[in-house]
Structure 1
């Protein structure tokens, strides 16, 4: 298909699918010195509920000499590529990679190319992008606008960030090692798709790697910056690295960045330092503050003393630093709360105003009248726009990766998985030393309702909350907060038992973690379904229904009611004047 026709097709598809949720993630890093217990956190909300929502366990494997590793296309880059059997769902069909990636032979994914395989690859958790491996290496991700998006092409461009992160998880133990490997791979084999920000961390160090297709059509452009210990980093669909100084010891730079930028007129030495954001992109996309408002919100919540303003002069502002030291150290619950945000208590509060309806619903439904994809032209006129919160209705899942250096890798690494929207989900912990994940996390298909899938349990309750958000969300929040608190308490005892086993038999420790984590997850999913069923009864027909006290009228908030036609409704038999 010609590039122009493909672009028009993708834009049409985007309009139908409600503002391209595949372009919409938020990601952050909280470094060791910024946490209450010395953990490192990498968080990622995968805002793409049109896509495959499975969290898949990819086992460790040994490979024969001369083996080659296939590299597959990714539908979260630019949409589906049927000729490579690359679809939104399933994202991959290759049983050799993982049992959960099995499927009909007719749907087996077609590689874009191959790279030399290594003798041994590590186990990891996989989603739309690689998440975390058995050595506590962890990833986040967000998509960014770039000056040009390029399709995959065998022999020229075979890597997107999703496969880059997976190869790194298969082969690396540290963040530095992962950045160097991914940079080498994209330069050697070519990078296609969108711009990308990949936070990558281990229990002791954190880096942010950003990448873009090269205007040469081969290779790729990239740069990476270390996040200073004791600080917090956030990105939200816009590049966050700015000046690139080759002498900066906290930077890793693609070998062809300066040469390519100069040759294509994107930068010249007399301009001063190369500004990565301006060289690789036009800044924000979709609409003003689509990205920057989320960056402001996280920075303002973790460091209110800095007094960051939510208003800036343009989409390439320097008002927000790369990272900040928080006013107080953050816990896991603090990090989870950041992802659950709708700007509550600010002038942008989505639980207030006409758009929230009578019951304070922060979710907004996007349509063809909203900004679509990469704006491209920053002068484009928009008729209107919704504020873009961190927690959006079309979020597919959120992961909070936790690295703990004081414990052996199988026990120290914990991936907290929250299916569906973060404000209405419950984060469930899984140690990276497990031998598999529960089937309920590996079988979901967003096209088919399935009570055996964990994702559908949380997706259902999030949607049921729309019926009466003020009350139902409060019920959900109380439920999830109580469960997460119990998980934190039970993990302390579980870790102690696993550590005692690990001292004499690491294999037995892994078996124990697998059984315990699965039992917890199975109980949680079953309990959440039972909770969902109770919510159906509790708020049926707009009433509050309790045993012995059914059909209690709730009505509407008076301040909202007074603004409706209710005020002018029939109160007497006399005709209206």
Structure 2
């Protein structure tokens, strides 16, 4: 009898132990599925192939839409001694005020690494290899907390070791097969000097070391978007020039009963391993593809969109900047319109614990979102030396109230203002806080303030575009004589321009405080009170309550 009681006591304890070992996300894991679903996903990435772009460059983007590390640094190239090991770091990536990455293992170091940019999701190295990222979750049962690698560390490693997209994909495949993948379903958009690839990866369950992944090359002349759901469908592995996948990609699905070759149904990677009809993802896919290829007349309520499309006209850098500042302006989903936008056309919608009924949508999820940590647009150009050809346009915080500044991939540092800051302490030395403050202040009277903000951003960005041919001509001349002199020149230029923008943004913040203080427009010939628009006053019942005298 005592043994039976003891057994009844032990069974729940064993179950809880197994749950924490195999199912519950580890403390180093960067997010949970609950967080992922709550946030309605955290990134958007766009890819433009070489012959689809206006200037012949390849481009990929990444808006890091959540509470992530915004401090930007350049990690220098490094020479290692024979037998030296590189630590595997896991977790972190959410800023100085949050738990940091911890070492969970090590791998042999290579003799020579490449310099790279470092941030939450590292995005480019000195060899013109660039990466965008979005999380799509995938089946929960595929998550393995014991896997050594998370996606952030994989990005760091391939940027340190690889020069091409294909090489990076193959290296990730080798690493996760040996050491395991311990993160949610992720999409990486790779570009090098010639090709663009989409790579999607998930774990292989709590009992197996490894991963399930697939990669597809973006067809030349086309554009692609990832918005937090898996986009790779059918796999044609007999065409390795355009498709790659893990060894277990078919067998694992068969073993789990998720697909059978005898069913007559085609094998679709996304439908099998990460089924999703998220309207927040679909709407962003529609917005990007329909903006770049309006002739397709894509339905905004469509469940599935083409993997990639041919744009109606060549895509420019400015087109991608505009898309990352987009909140469906001019469409039926325009977030600056309607009662929820308030009297001053504010497109921002903060999180709410009230859920819409099943089958209904709450707030629309735009491409540009207030909680963005940073946004980048990477360009690769094979007609220039790597240090000049690789270029990142970087904006701290929300792109619609920020400014893109140029950082060449050959630079050795960024301004200190971009390297510091934390969310739990306001800091006027920090670049991120300059842009975040302006973004938050604009919520008070968005329709008016955003005009001032966009003018400031446009002035700077237009200047950068106009200076670019001159700067790169000078850089190329220096490079031909002495590459290191070229590198110093580009570092000086990028740093001076970036710091100038930060200084101006703090000045802009002070200007907006004064100009819009107390609901007035305080600058100009005289102070004026613009008040509220009549449509909004009518909607909230202004003037409809009758006075009663007793």
Spell out, residue by residue over 1:302-356, the C-alpha distance to the aligned partner (whole angstroms, 9 max, x if none). 00000100113xxxx44x1110110000111111111111011111111111111
Q: Map of 1:237-386 to 2, 5 A cutoff?
A: 237-249=228-240, 250-271=242-263, 272-284=265-277, 288-312=278-302, 317-318=303-304, 320-370=305-355, 381=358, 385-386=362-363
Cα deviations by residue, 1:120-160 (Å, 9 ceiling, x for unpaired): 0000112211200001100000000211263532xxx1111
Cα offset, 1:108, TM superposition: 7.4
Q: Alignment partner for residue 90 of structure 1, among 88, 96, 116?
A: 96
> Could you list the runs of 5+ residues in structure 1 that have no partner in the other structure?
77-87, 93-106, 372-379
Cα gap change, 1:118 to 1:248, in 2 (>3 Å): same
- Cα distance in 1 for residues equivalent to 2:177 and 2:266: 22
* 108, 112, 123: which one aligns with 1:116: 108
SS of the residue corresponding to residue 522 of structure 2 reads strand
Counterpart Cα distance in 1 of 2:115 and 2:247? 30
Distance apart, 1:26 and its partner CA: 0.5
Provide the residue aligned with 2:534 in structure 1: 558
Q: Whole-Å Cα distance in 2 between the matches of residues 195 and 58 of structure 1?
A: 27
Over aligned residue pairs, what C-alpha RMSD do you find? 2.5
Within the candidate set 125, 132, 144, 2:124 is matched to 132
What displacement does 1:51 show? 2.4
- Say if 1:410 and 1:431, in contact at 8 Å, map to a contact too: yes
Give the aligned partner of residue 393 of structure 1.
370
In structure 2, distance between residues paired with 1:143 and 1:163: 15
1:567 counterpart = 2:543: yes
Structure 1 pair 444–495 and aligned structure 2 pair: CA distance change class (3 A): same
- Aligned residue in 2 for 1:233: 224
TM-fit CA distance, 1:3: 7.2
Report the Cα offset of residue 247 of structure 1.
Answer: 1.4
Could you tell me which residue of structure 2 aligns to residue 84 of structure 1?
none
Deviation at 1:7, TM superposition (A): 5.2
1:161-208 CA-partner distances (Å, limit 9, x unpaired): 111111110011111111111111112211112100100011221000
Asked if the contact 2:437–2:509 (Cα under 8 Å) also holds between the matched residues in 1, the reply is yes
Q: Structure 1 residue 51 and structure 2 residue 79: aligned?
A: no
* TM-score of the pair, normalised by structure 1: 0.87
User: For 1:444-483, what aligned pairs fall within 5 Å after superposition?
Assistant: 444-483=421-460
Structure 1 residue 429 displacement after superposition: 0.5
Within a 5 Å distance, the mapping from 1:171-190 to structure 2 comes to 171-190=161-180
Q: Check 1:160–1:3 CA distance in 2 against 1; reply closer, same or farther (3 A cut).
A: farther
Separation (CA, whole Å) in 2 of partners of 1:348 and 1:198: 28
**Is there any run of 5+ residues in structure 2 with no aligned partner, and where?**
1-15
Q: Distance in 2 between matches of 1:349 and 1:110?
A: 43
Structure 1 residues 22, 57: closer, same or farther in 2, change over 3 A?
farther
Give the conservation status (yes or no) of the 8 Å contact 1:200–1:209.
Answer: yes
Measured in 2, the distance between the counterparts of 1:15 and 1:425 equals 30
The question of 1:432 aligning with 2:409 is answered: yes
Q: 1:485 to 1:370 in 2, by over 3 A?
A: farther
The equivalent of 1:102 in structure 2 is none
Q: Distance in 2 between matches of 1:22 and 1:518?
A: 35
> Is structure 2 residue 55 aligned with structure 1 residue 62?
no
Aligned residue among 108, 132, 154 for 1:164: 154
**For the residues of structure 2 that align with 1:130 and 1:110, how far apart are their CA atoms?**
17
